[in-house]
Amino acid sequence: MFVERAHDHGSCIETALDRAETVCQARGVRLTELRRRVLVLVWRRHEPIGAYDLLDELKLTHRRAAPPTVYRALDFLIDQGLVHRLESLNAYIGCTRPEELHAGQFLICSGCASIGELDDPEIARAVSCRAASLGFLVERQTIEVRGLCADCRRAPAGAPN
């Protein structure tokens, strides 16, 4: 769910990379150096990051990187379930459970912009079933809910988190 403010972020990134390697190997796809670098950039913070911010970061090590470079890498990472696209923010965040392809439900804090992923199969199933009852076939499902995280709810009004 929400990341604790004090955690070993280096270990968190290494775990994400290890999982990515395992997932890609199991699926017979390549996690190229460029895709790996984009994944690291997504995981560097536990906050959503936009494609052009990724491009700016990527250019520090890959001078000739262009928007299609980033978007192709992101498409691969999304297809493999390694990152999620947050539609309302037009941004990306790493997936903590890439081994299982799943629909995500995201809690987005309006106060500090932190993200929590629910990944509740019952919610996904309920949406798909109700959509089917209306004759609608769900192709992809992302649910985003805005509100305040526990830290922001506890903070005095106007105080930064």
Q: Which residue has the tokens 């001078």?
A: 63
Task: Map out the domains of the chain with their CATH numbers.
Answer: 9-154 (1.10.10.10)
Helix (H, G, I), strand (E, B) or coil at 146: strand
pLDDT exceeds 90 at position 38: yes
pLDDT-derived band of residue 1, with 50, 70 and 90 as boundaries?
A: very low
The helix (H) or strand (E) run that includes residue 142 is strand 142-147
Beta bridge partners, 85, equal 92
Helix (H, G, I), strand (E, B) or coil at 145: strand
Spell 78-94 as b/e; 16+ CB within 10 A means b. eebbbbbbbeebebbbb
Quick one: DSSP state of residue 88? G
pTM for this prediction: 0.84
